[in-house]
Amino acid sequence: MSEQGLQGTEAAGTGIVLTSDGMVLTNNHVINGATSLSAVDIGNGRTYSASVIGYDRSHDLALVRLHGASGLQTLSLAAGTHVSVGDAVTALGNAGGRGGQPSQAAGSVTALDQRITATDEGSGSSEQLSGLIQVDAQIQAGDSGGPLVNAQGQVIGIDTAASVGYQFQSAPTEGFAIPATQAQATAEAIAAGHASSSVHIGATAWLGVGVGTANQYSATNGAAVVQVVPDSPADHLGLIAGDVITSVDGASVPDPNTLTALLGQHHPGDTVTLGWTDAGGQAQTARVVLGTGPAG
């Protein structure tokens, strides 16, 4: 369960226990926006507080640590296992966020190497998720992060489904999973602390704005500020709704996706130079210390 304090909501998902001491792989969108995390291990019934080790927005994956866990039952990702259209599969998860024993949704693989667009309503950014396994199993919100298994019981993918504040541009009858090979590569990179252009390690740097595509709100290209969180770095800087963020440390910000990516290269406590055009059309620049934001 992720509590999204800034949005006043909660989101439920599923995770795969990779190590007996509580390293869990799930979807990034399950933990995205979370101000606190907890998890119930179905093997022992215990509830654990949890924290995010790192995440990869571009592949919708996150690695979480359960605090105080030991002796947990684990699952292995069947990376490299051949997957074909027509293969029978079962999606396991927490359909509808009801908890208890895992839900099961049977189906088959209908396509490989699929691409969908996922939109984060909180940040205004979107990601192109690619290389996905498409299935006709009824994967539901709450199943996100759970295992997709083949007829031999091997974990061939990670279920991914739209959730609170995170929407897919796809038909409701289509289900998708991230291939186990990609999931394992991302999990290993995060566990090793290897940050990259897609992998973020540690806490999330935070400006404290909600943004949209500027041309919807302004004649200036950039990330248009539509909301400023009170007492956030952006609020202290004096940003207001109607301003348009145009650069971070001199790098151009043509849209919300770029702003998210540039801030994602930083950590709480970092100082950046922000450029913006105010509601009166005047160009402004100022240095700002980034805060600690919600996960993901």
Q: Please tell me the distance from the alpha carbon of residue 74 to that of residue 270, in angstroms, as a whole number.
A: 37
Q: Catalytic: 103?
A: no
Q: How far is CA 295 from CA 55, 114, 120, 151, 178, in A?
A: 9, 27, 13, 35, 21
pLDDT, tens digit, 9 for 90 and up, residues 203-228: 999 999 988 876 665 666 899 999 99
Q: Which residue of the set 41, 56, 60, 243 is catalytic?
A: 60
Give, as one character, the DSSP assignment of residue 215: G
Note the pLDDT tens digit of each residue in 18-77.
999 999 999 998 888 778 888 889 889 999 999 999 999 889 999 999 999 999 999 999
How many C-alpha atoms does 27 have within 13 Å on its Cβ side?
32
The model's confidence at residue 277, banded by pLDDT at 50, 70 and 90, is very high
Which residue carries 């991914």 as its tokens? Answer: 160
Alpha-carbon span 61 to 50, nearest angstrom = 16
Of all helices (H) and strands (E), which one includes residue 258?
A: helix 256-263
Cβ atoms of 90 and 106 within 8 Å: the answer is yes
The string over 187-211, giving b where at least 16 C-beta atoms fall within 10 Å of a residue's C-beta and e elsewhere, is bebbbeeebeebbbbebbbbbbbbb
Q: Is 60 known to be catalytic? A: yes
Set 125, 144, 232, 247: catalytic member: 144
Instruction: Identify the active-site residue in 29, 59, 200, 266.
Output: 29
| Per-residue model confidence (pLDDT) at position 4 | 47
Q: Verify whether residue 59 is a known catalytic residue.
A: no
